[in-house]
Structure formats: structure tokens, C-alpha cells
């Protein structure tokens, strides 16, 4: 039973790390990355559609993304969606290709993005602690129902803490890597 609780907590913590990686991918660094456009929704075919479903996004060079829109009638909608996406990007259309140059980051914007990255990391740490709390509550329920002994309860609590510490350390490493990317000129 305790193993099941640990496995479930580990899976949930892993998903929290994945969510953090996706959040970090949306934070713009000076380099071009297709992940920056993941949150952009395009009004297409009567519904809000993710950009990746209406266009192929490739990295043309270190500072430029190129989008090949599948349906020519959506080029204007894709361009407008990128402009209004609050990413600070200015797409330029050349025939069927939309080029999105990545503007150089100023010191002020780097600090702002770094602050955003720290905020995302803090959300991930809070989520990890909440998962630990839920797992410990399940262990306490087992102890209260006399299904496990006090020694097993203490051991399970210590193992959950180790698991949480390991995932928090992963969050710290990911944050350090993202901040290093942001501060690189």
C-alpha cells in the first residue's frame, strides 16, 4: 500500500516537472525556439486552433523562426495571432512563409523573464509540496486504520521527504539552466 502511494506521488511529481518544462519553453530567450509559439491560438475553421495544427514551425537560424502555413487562407490569421500573442514578436510574411525574427533581449526584459521563470519554479515547488502533503495524509489514514505500524509510517514519511527533495532539486537545476539561458548575451 505504501509503495502504491509512493508510486502515485512520484508520477504526479514527474508531471509537475513536465509542466515546469513547458512553462519554461514559453519564456522567450534570445534564441529562436518553436516552443515559444506553443501557446498561440489561431482563429481557424470556426474555432481557436493551436498554431502547430495550422502551420509547420521551424528554426531558420538562431534568431529566426519560419512558419509554413498549411492553408493559404489562414496566413493573415496566423500573422495576427502572433502579433496579438503578447510575446513581443513581429512576423513578416513572404509569400507562403511567415518569418518571425526574435528581437534581442534588453537587460530589463531579461530580468523580467528571469523573474517569471523564478515564479514558475516556485509554483512547481508548491505543487510538489502539495503532492507530498496528500501522500502523507494517505499514509496517516493507513496508520489511523491500523493497517500499518508506527515504524512503517515514519519510514514512509522519510521516503516521501526524500522523494520530494529529489524533485525540488530537479526544479532548482531547471531554474538555474533557464536563468543561465536568459542572462547569456
Q: For residues 112 and 184, which has the higher predicted lDDT (pLDDT)?
A: 112
> Which pLDDT value is given to residue 122?
96
Q: Can you tell me the mean pLDDT for 1-11?
A: 90
Q: Can you tell me the mean pLDDT for 50-66?
A: 87
Supply the mean pLDDT for the chain.
88
Percentage above 70 pLDDT, the chain: 98
> Which pLDDT value is given to residue 1?
81
As assigned by CATH, the class of the 2-26+106-183 domain is mainly alpha
Q: For residues 3 and 29, which has the higher predicted lDDT (pLDDT)?
A: 3
Q: Is the pLDDT of residue 113 over 70?
A: yes
> Which pLDDT value is given to residue 185?
60
> Which pLDDT value is given to residue 71?
85
Q: Can you tell me the mean pLDDT for 43-66?
A: 87
Q: Is the pLDDT of residue 64 over 70?
A: yes
Where exactly does CATH 1.10.132.20 map onto the chain? 2-26+106-183
> Which pLDDT value is given to residue 39?
81
Q: Is the pLDDT of residue 145 over 90?
A: no
Residue 25: pLDDT band with limits 50, 70, 90: confident
> Which pLDDT value is given to residue 158?
94
Where exactly does CATH 3.30.1360.40 map onto the chain? 34-101
Q: Can you tell me the mean pLDDT for 151-178?
A: 93
Report the topology of domain 34-101: Gyrase A; domain 2 (3.30.1360)
> Which pLDDT value is given to residue 108?
85
Got the DSSP string for the chain?
A: -HHHHHHHHHHHHHHHHHHHHHHHHHS--SS--GGGGTT-EEEETTEEEEGGGTEEEEEEETTEEEEEESSGGGHHHHHHHHHTTSS----EEETTEEEEE-PPPPHHHHHHHHHHHHHHHHHHHHHHHHHHHHHHHHHHHHHHTTSS-HHHHHHHHHHHHHHHHHHHHHHHHHHHHHHHHHH--
Amino acid at each position: 500500500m505504501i509503495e502504491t502511494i509512493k508510486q502515485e506521488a512520484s508520477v504526479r511529481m514527474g508531471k509537475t516537472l513536465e509542466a515546469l518544462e513547458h512553462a519554461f519553453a514559453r519564456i522567450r530567450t534570445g534564441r529562436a525556439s518553436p516552443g515559444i509559439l506553443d501557446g498561440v491560438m489561431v482563429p481557424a475553421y470556426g474555432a481557436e486552433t493551436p498554431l502547430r495544427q495550422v502551420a509547420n514551425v521551424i528554426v531558420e537560424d538562431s534568431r529566426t523562426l519560419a512558419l509554413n502555413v498549411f492553408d493559404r487562407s489562414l496566413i493573415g490569421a496566423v500573422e495576427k495571432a502572433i502579433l496579438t500573442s503578447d510575446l513581443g514578436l513581429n512576423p513578416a510574411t513572404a509569400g507562403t512563409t511567415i518569418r518571425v525574427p526574435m528581437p534581442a533581449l534588453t537587460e530589463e526584459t531579461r530580468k523580467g523573464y528571469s523573474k517569471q521563470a523564478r515564479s514558475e519554479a516556485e509554483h512547481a515547488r508548491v505543487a510538489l509540496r502539495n503532492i507530498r502533503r496528500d501522500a502523507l495524509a494517505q499514509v496517516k489514514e493507513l496508520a489511523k486504520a491500523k493497517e500499518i505500524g508506527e515504524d512503517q509510517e515514519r519510514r514512509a514519511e522519510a521516503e516521501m521527504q526524500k522523494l520530494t527533495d529529489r524533485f525540488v532539486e530537479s526544479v532548482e537545476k531547471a531554474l538555474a539552466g533557464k536563468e543561465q539561458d536568459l542572462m547569456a548575451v
